[in-house]
């Protein structure tokens, strides 16, 4: 995967250095607001199922259309 396709190359390299796979590092580094901090995000339990689905889509989780809210939360936390 070329660096031009990575939205946040510094985060990508940091994740690779921690041992993450190329695919997972790219997925994380390409999510909207990747690398931004602030602690303002609400816990997944307070998100709507639609919001969880959209986030799962953003990070490339397969099978999300068949998941219920609890399964989406678990998939997002363990992706």
Over the stretch 1-42, which tens digit does the pLDDT of each residue have? Answer: 444 578 888 888 888 888 888 888 888 888 776 656 666 668
More confident residue, 66 or 13: 66
Residues 72, 56 contacting (CB under 8 angstroms):
yes
The pLDDT value given to residue 69: 96
Over the stretch 7-18, which tens digit does the pLDDT of each residue have? Answer: 888 888 888 888
Model-level pTM greater than 0.85? no
The pLDDT value given to residue 3: 42
């Amino acid at each position: 995967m070329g660096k031009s396709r990575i939205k946040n190359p510094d985060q990508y390299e940091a994740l690779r250095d921690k041992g993450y796979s190329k695919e997972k590092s790219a997925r994380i580094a390409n999510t909207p607001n990747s690398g931004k901090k602030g602690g303002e995000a609400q816990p997944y339990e307070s998100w709507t199922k639609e919001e969880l689905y959209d986030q799962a889509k953003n990070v490339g989780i397969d099978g999300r259309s068949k998941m219920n809210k609890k399964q989406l939360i678990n998939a997002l936390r363990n992706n």
